[in-house]
Amino acid sequence: MQNDFYKTFEKFINPIGYRDGMVINSPFSHLGSEKKLMMVGHNPGGVSKESNTSIKEDWSRHMADPFFNALKEDWDGKEGTHPIQLLNTTLIENTSLNQNDILSTNVYWKRSKNSEQLNVDAILEKNCKDGFLYNLEVHQPDCILFLGHASADIATRWACRSTSLKRPTPFPWGNDQLIKYKKLSFNKIGVFNTVSIPHPSRFRIGENQDRVISILEALNRNGIS
């Protein structure tokens, strides 16, 4: 199953492989099996020089070492301290999830300092969309956790149908910050419950335990505990 996954996925990578970016953060040894949680950001941000790769280079380093885990490398001046990495650790420490249960990726694989500076052309859009849909098809996550509402909006655009599941719930970080719930349907792939939270780069998990509790409660409402 894994070999088939790699061969198919490389078709999406090759047309945009020369661009700076990252594809999948999770160890490749975990790919090809059903997941409990798919954690999806918008696109890779700026990282230290040692971690700055092209999309093809990122894919190649994972292929060379199937146990390589980008969620533990230096993204933020020190290994494993970026807000997304800390969120991943928090989920593992506070739920029944282990690393093999989580697939971590982005809707777009091209790197930019922030999402506003990301230029999405037709080639990037097509291949990242195809890769996202293929990840759903193969890994069939019980729940999708979107890191930031913008990434959820992109996936909603790619879906054939979307439904708001529940009223948004307040998030303890400003009056306009919410946790949102949707059900997304994709032709011939399936229907998935989703949760979107304010992007972790806008807050620090350790600064307010209420934020951790809010995220865990939102996931629990969607079968992740």
Q: What is the CATH number of the domain that holds 125?
A: 3.40.470.10
> Quick check: is 155 in a domain?
yes
- pLDDT of amino acid 207: 66
Q: Kindly state the percentage of the chain with pLDDT values over 90.
A: 73
Question: What is the C-alpha separation between 176 and 128, in angstroms, rounded?
Answer: 30
pLDDT higher than 80, residue 175: no
Q: What is the average pLDDT across 158-181?
A: 86
Q: What is the average pLDDT across 79-105?
A: 93
Q: What is the average pLDDT across 133-139?
A: 97
Range of the domain at 134: 2-220
Domain count, the chain: 1
Question: What is the C-alpha separation between 144 and 219, in angstroms, rounded?
Answer: 9
- pLDDT of amino acid 172: 86
Partner residues linked to 192 by β-bridges: 184
Q: What is the average pLDDT across 96-110?
A: 96
Lowest-confidence pick of 45-49, 72-76, 77-81, 87-91: 45-49
Q: What is the average pLDDT across 211-221?
A: 93
CB 58 within 8 A of CB 164: no
pLDDT higher than 80, residue 27: yes
Q: What is the average pLDDT across 95-100?
A: 95
- pLDDT of amino acid 167: 80
pLDDT higher than 70, residue 223: yes
Q: What is the average pLDDT across 39-63?
A: 86
What 3-state class would DSSP assign to 151? helix
> Quick check: is 225 in a domain?
no
pLDDT higher than 90, residue 74: no
> Quick check: is 130 in a domain?
yes
Instruction: Name the amino acid, one letter, at 86.
Output: L
pLDDT higher than 80, residue 202: no
> Quick check: is 107 in a domain?
yes
What pTM did the predictor assign?
0.94
> Quick check: is 40 in a domain?
yes
In whole numbers, what is the pLDDT of the chain averaged over residues? 91
- pLDDT of amino acid 174: 72
> Quick check: is 182 in a domain?
yes
> Quick check: is 78 in a domain?
yes
What 3-state class would DSSP assign to 40? strand
Task: Quote the Cα angle for 9-185-41, to 5°.
Answer: 55
Question: What is the C-alpha separation between 165 and 122, in angstroms, rounded?
Answer: 31
Q: What is the average pLDDT across 14-32?
A: 94
> Quick check: is 110 in a domain?
yes
If you search the block for the tokens 């949102």, which residue do you land on?
180
Q: Where are the beta strands (DSSP E) in 6-160?
A: 37-41, 102-106, 143-147
